[in-house]
Amino acid sequence: MLSCVAAAQTPAHDHGPLFLPGVHYGAPLEIAGGLAVYFETKVDGDFTSGLIVEGSGGQGGVRASFGVASFLEYMGLDARAVVHRTAAHPRGASADSTYLGGEAGLTLAYVRASLGVAQRIAGPDGEHGTILTWTVGVHVPLGR
């Protein structure tokens, strides 16, 4: 996914952020679009690691995430803290609620899939106090 890996022979501080606009489908946002920004902090041959921040919005609400990511050529793993704010009709979650949770992601080439769990911290009582979150989508690297 990250074209920065091809330039991994240079120190991480020689690179600026990598912008990753993308689209994805999942729960609770359904169809969504957003932007992730990856900041390399370490380069060791073909292996890079760093920090990633992402914001996205879709039919079911909005989300923001922050975490760590590592990439080896075209494959990547990440772990993130995530905040979701749902809209009127989210997938598998309570409407007009805020959820806080964590997720793990796997990236192969430009395709990312993630799975996580989130707990409702604000919103109406009832079903969906704890939800399963997931996404499958495509990110296109820009900026290197």
Domain ranges within the chain, ordered by starting residue? 3-139
Instruction: Note the pLDDT of residue 126.
Output: 87
- Per-residue pLDDT tens, the chain, 144 aa: give them: 444 444 433 444 557 899 999 999 999 999 999 999 999 999 999 999 999 999 999 999 999 999 999 999 899 999 999 999 999 999 999 999 999 999 999 999 999 999 999 999 999 998 999 999 999 999 999 976
C-beta of residue 99 within 8 angstroms of C-beta of residue 119: yes
The pLDDT score that the predictor gives to residue 85 is 98
Distance CA 52, CA 38 (A): 4
pLDDT of residue 23: 98
Buried (b) or exposed (e) across 26-50, using 16+ Cβ within 10 A? bbbbbebebebebebeebeeeebbb
Rounded to a whole number of angstroms, the CA Rg of the chain reads: 16
Q: What is the pLDDT of residue 15?
A: 74
Q: What is the pLDDT of residue 115?
A: 98
The closest alpha carbon to 59, from 40, 97, 87, belongs to 87
| pLDDT at res. 143 | 79
Q: What type of residue sits at position 102? A: G
